[in-house]
Each structure stands twice: as structure tokens, then as C-alpha cells.
Amino acid sequence: MHAITVRPETAEDIRAIDVVHISAFGGEAEAHLVDELRKSSAYNRELSLVAELGGRIVGHVLLTRVPLRREGSEKHVLALGPMSVVPSQSHRGIGSELINASVNLAKQKGYGAIVVLGHPEYYKRFGFVQAKDVQVTCNLPAPEDALTLREIVDGNLAGGGHVEYPEQFVALY
Ligand SMILES: CC(C)(COP(=O)(O)OP(=O)(O)OC[C@H]1O[C@@H](n2cnc3c(N)ncnc32)[C@H](O)[C@@H]1OP(=O)(O)O)[C@@H](O)C(=O)NCCC(=O)NCCS
């Protein structure tokens, strides 16, 4: 039994990352989003994590630095996603490892919070709470309940704010 390694992506991983997203999401939209972001200034290779198992890429999560604005101020938080694990390796904790690694990376890089648009039930177990409960909104036309967040620094999101995802995400929705 091989151990899971989570590490930043390299140029050699790009094709495998596409395959992970296409197989997990059952379509090309998320892989396309990652490829578009990779060409943009929003992209930072250190914030793109792969899960490797026995030399094979089996999972990927992308973190993007995004502005969170409120009247008179702006800060940056990390937006988590897309994230996926190949169906043949799901339910083995790989998704959990990717989220835990994301939280650790956010701490290491000094970010105060992580936001995520996705299945709220899944993220709840990792300490993510409903964004609407702390007056945080975003520019994507997704259901309000789908936006969740986790403070890395307690109180970081006090007062709420509006998260601006880059235009590549807007095109996906
Ligand atoms: C969601 C996903 C990343 C989870 O990866 P994983 O490696 O299977 O996750 P873990 O093994 O750490 O956790 C599995 C648990 O997640 C929960 N889970 C998985 N998908 C879920 C969902 N859509 N909603 C709520 N809970 C979910 C299940 O309770 C599961 O528990 P079980 O193994 O006891 O059945 C993976 O299923 C995936 O790639 N799905 C398709 C793409 C996707 O939806 N990505 C997330 C977008 S927000």
C-alpha cells in the first residue's frame, strides 16, 4: 500500500491534472478552468496541489488568491477549487488530505481565510461554515448556500465582505 503524497504541481503534471478533473467531474469545464487560470496572473504554482499515489496523480486542488472587499478596505483570502479525486480512488481520504494540506498552506503563507464554492456538507467536516452567516458574499451566480469558508486566523472575516473571483471562474458559471 503506497502512501499519499501532497505536493505543488510541476509542468509534468498538467496533463494528469486535466485527466483527474475530467474523470471526477464527468466533463471538461473544470479542467478547462484550471488551464485558463494557469495562463493568467491569478495563478501561482505553489498554490496548486496534487495528490500522488504510487507515482500517479490521483487528486488535485487549486487555491487562488482573491480579493475580499468591504467598504473602505480590501484583503486577500484563498479560494479553494476546483478540487477532485479520480473516482477509482475516492472515499479513501485523499480529498481530506488535499483540504488539510490547503489549510496548512494557507497558514504557512499567512492567509486569514479560505473560501470555497461547493458541496457545503462535504466542507463542513473541515470546519467550513456558511459564508452568509458571517456576511460574506461573492461575485459568482451560485446558490448562496454553496459558499462556505473557514477562518485560518480567528476573527479574520469579522464584518464580512465580498469575494471577487477572477473572470475565468465567472465564465464557468
Ligand atoms: C468530493 C471529492 C473531492 C471527495 O474526495 P474523496 O477523496 O472521496 O474524499 P474523502 O475520502 O476525504 O471523503 C469522502 C467522504 O466525503 C463525503 N462526500 C463526498 N462527496 C460528497 C458530496 N458531494 N457531498 C457531501 N459529502 C460528500 C462522503 O461522505 C465521503 O464519506 P464516505 O467515504 O464515508 O462515503 C471527490 O468525491 C470528487 O472528486 N468528486 C467529484 C468532483 C467534486 O464534486 N469536487 C468537489 C467540488 S466542491
Cβ neighbour number for residue 127 with a 10 Å cutoff? 14
- Determine what percent of the chain is predicted with pLDDT higher than 90: 95
**pLDDT tens string 35-51:** 999 999 999 999 999 99
Question: 89 alpha carbon to ligand 1 midpoint, in Å?
Answer: 11
Single-letter code of the amino acid located at 129: V
Q: Residue 14: exposed, middle, or buried by beta-carbon count in 10 A (0-12, 13-18, 19+)?
A: middle
161/22 Cα distance (integer angstroms): 33
- Are 48 and 8 spatial neighbours (Cβ–Cβ below 8 Å)? yes
Residue ranges of domains in the chain, CATH in brackets: 4-172 (3.40.630.30)
- Model confidence band, residue 153 (pLDDT cutoffs 50, 70, 90): very high
pLDDT of residue 161: 97
pLDDT of residue 1: 65
Of all protein residues, whose CA lies closest to atom 41 belonging to ligand 1? 24
The pTM of this model reads 0.96
126/135 Cα distance (integer angstroms): 20
Q: Is the CB of 23 under 6 A from ligand 1?
A: no
